Structure 1
Amino acid sequence: MTSTTSMMCSEITEQPAALRETLAALLPLTPEIAALGRETRHVLFIARGSSDNAAVYGSYLLQVHCGRLTSLASPSVTTTYGAELDLSGVLAVAVSQSGRTEEIVETMRWAAGCGARTVAVTNGAGAPLAQEADLALVTRAGDELAVPATKTYTTQLAALAVLALGLGADRDRGQLAAVPDTLEASLDSPDGRIGEIVERLVGVHGAVVSGRGMAFSTALETALKLKEACYLRAMGLSYADLLHGPIAVVDGGTPAILVAADSGPTLPGMVELAERVVATGAAAYGIGGGPDLGAACDVAVPGPDLPEWLAPIGLAIPAQIITERLSRRLGYNPDSPRGLGKVTQTS
């Protein structure tokens, strides 16, 4: 069995401070972001792994609140196929915790060579990604020693929220500035239902994790974390994709973990999904979603009190805590999942 503490647990608790420092450093850069925004129309996100899940949040955020068409890059288009595209008018946003993943650096260089302007979102101030971008949004997460990303992930989300403000999102920056305090209060009063969900997940071999809209990014990240640290066969699926067939795999041995903000237009659909899952005899566990989702699920953990556009930053934390506790409960070391390193190189 592993010890009762882990680096991952410590780094989860460091997130309010990391977010506070990140926002203090990045919010003053919104005029520079705005300048790049005036030269571009579309946004191309370049990322892998947890950073790709952060990019999904950025994609929804910029489309809904900035009115900009976004897409997620396929790095193999350049690294494997060597294709050339016309990217004039495109803002390429490369997201990488380390800033040293060669595939991501190469793809950002390719985008610049095809006419794009570039932004790096990274925790590596001196990394190639930050040095070569037109503008670097360097997060202030500090050293992250556990392999599963926690504070580097949520500070990426904060950086993308700053990016949205710079690109014209009509959102209250005071709400963003208040996020660290909200999360600090949440971490100071952990919800006992987290332990109940952990115990219910002991013994299952698979789970479906679903979200919609802004919260879809957190569903994907939760599934990734459960695979990385708990070796659970977790599928991250959007609400719509889940209903188009894969819901058939949800049964007595395969619970659904449903992630939602406490408000917003996607919440009613997530509540209906929880009711449908429970009606089939399967278990539904909620993360966030307020009292409505809580009432529809077998067990639900409340998310921090944040508006929908910022909710994914807060929703990631109970998901991280569930993962860390379940990993240790299963006798694993959440800090060093087998077969994984902190920087993954692909070609």
Structure 2
Amino acid sequence: MTSQMRAEIGEQPDALRRTIDALLPRVPDIGALARETRQVLFVARGSSDNAAVYGRYLVEAHAGRLATLAAPSIATAYRRRLDLSGVLAVAISQSGKTEEIVETLDWARDCGARTVAVTNGAGSPLAEAAEVALITQAGAEIAVPATKTYTTQLAALSVLGLGLGAGVAEDDLRRVPDEVARMIALTEASPALPEIVEALAKVPGTVVSGRGIAFGTALELALKIKEACYLHAMGLSYADLLHGPIAVVDAQTPALLVAADSGPTLPGTVALARRVRGAGASAFGVGGGAELAEACTAALPGPALPEWVAPLGLIVPGQIMVESLARRLGIDPDVPRGLNKVTQTD
């Protein structure tokens, strides 16, 4: 029986196409705010926070602006006023109803920031609070683990990057929906999928690692493994992993390594795969092309996209793997225990 999560994974090409078509005309609106700001502050939680990590690397690597992740508790718990003049605050929430995120965006505006919202909730409190609302077109998402709402957030952040002056090609973004459709078919046909699922079903946890623009994908994949499969999953930059936590990688703790098929962090990911296997552990790849696949125990294919936009397709094999692993473990991936679709925090 097909889970709702798997059905929504399959809806991503259309959701992405709708979102990209709807949001690319907003580039001039973002550009107007860009002329009045110099740095970007991302406000998010959960999967949206992992999307923000992608946004941060995109803005810094390709638009040449300092970008940081907000600590919402500064606004909501400590209630400290900061000078945010010259800051573009970008709040990300799938529903647009998380009170902490709305309150933090209001706080940022009161502190002098210009404001953008990224949400799937048209008419939501977050959309109403922002000067520019980038409304994703994912449609209703029923399964608790975010899939199409996450990838459409990445699409919205790609548009944000274009509006902020990122020196990248719009045509790369337009190719994403077809590439995601190809990724779904390739992953489901890959002999590596059941091999990786079976291996992960026999261990208590895994380390998930990536770096740079792929780092947010590693964090999101680790989150999905935790929430849908109830396994321990540590999401780390491979630079941080090498600073000590790599000691946990062993025969009972494999590594999942995530990378685009090109870019400056690919060689380091390949070297990490070789080191992991040299230590007697399994290394499973997601993306990274033939070079990473050769270095790994087994690997799922990645999207044929430039690094800046690769995360929109790179998470898809991971989503399919997580859904398959949850069912292999006898877990309903649609309704993980203890979780709700909209999470409220203090």
Distance 1:181 1:311 in 2: 13
CA contact (8 A) 2:183 2:317 kept: no
Aligned partner letter, 1:11: E
Corresponding residue SS for 1:326: helix
Distance 2:291 2:278 in 1: 16
Measured against aligned partners, the alpha-carbon deviations of 1:193-226 in whole angstroms (never above 9, x if no partner) come to: 1121101111211100000000000000000000
Aligned to 1:127: 124
Q: Does 1:231 align with 2:230?
A: yes
- How far did 1:255 drift? 0.3
Q: Does 1:83 align with 2:80?
A: yes
Q: Does 1:96 align with 2:93?
A: yes
Distance 1:187 1:90 in 2: 38
Aligned partner letter, 2:325: L
Distance 2:207 2:124 in 1: 36
- How far did 1:186 drift? 2.3
Q: Does 1:319 align with 2:318?
A: yes
Measured against aligned partners, the alpha-carbon deviations of 1:132-167 in whole angstroms (never above 9, x if no partner) come to: 100000000000000000000000000000000011
Measured against aligned partners, the alpha-carbon deviations of 1:13-67 in whole angstroms (never above 9, x if no partner) come to: 0000000000010000000000000000010000000000000000000000000
Aligned partner letter, 2:285: G
Aligned partner letter, 1:96: S
- How far did 1:5 drift? 1.4
Distance 1:21 1:116 in 2: 29
Aligned to 2:281: 282
- How far did 1:170 drift? 1.1
For normalisation by structure 1, the TM-score amounts to: 0.98
Distance 2:195 2:273 in 1: 18
Aligned to 2:59: 62
Aligned to 1:252: 251
Aligned runs of 1:41-56 on 2, under 5 Å? 41-56=38-53
Q: How many residues of Structure 1 are paired with residues of Structure 2 in the alignment?
A: 344
Distance 1:250 1:164 in 2: 36
Corresponding residue SS for 1:252: coil
CA contact (8 A) 2:208 2:255 kept: yes
Aligned to 1:15: 12
Aligned partner letter, 1:244: H
Aligned runs of 1:60-209 on 2, under 5 Å? 60-189=57-186, 190=188, 191-209=190-208
Aligned partner letter, 1:61: L
Distance 1:165 1:192 in 2: 37
CA contact (8 A) 2:136 2:156 kept: yes
Bigger shift: residues 172-181 or 188-197: 188-197
Measured against aligned partners, the alpha-carbon deviations of 1:287-338 in whole angstroms (never above 9, x if no partner) come to: 0000110011000111121110011111110000000000000000000000
Distance 1:329 1:126 in 2: 39
Aligned partner letter, 1:212: R
CA contact (8 A) 2:258 2:288 kept: yes
Corresponding residue SS for 1:58: helix
For normalisation by structure 2, the TM-score amounts to: 0.99
**5+ long unaligned stretches in structure 1:** none
**What is the root-mean-square deviation in Å for CA atoms of aligned residues?**
0.6
Distance 2:180 2:151 in 1: 11
Structure 1 segments of 4+ aligned residues over 4 angstroms from their partners = none
Corresponding residue SS for 1:331: coil
Aligned partner letter, 1:278: R
Corresponding residue SS for 2:307: coil
Aligned to 1:211: 210
Aligned to 2:33: 36
Measured against aligned partners, the alpha-carbon deviations of 1:242-262 in whole angstroms (never above 9, x if no partner) come to: 000000000000000000000
Corresponding residue SS for 2:41: strand
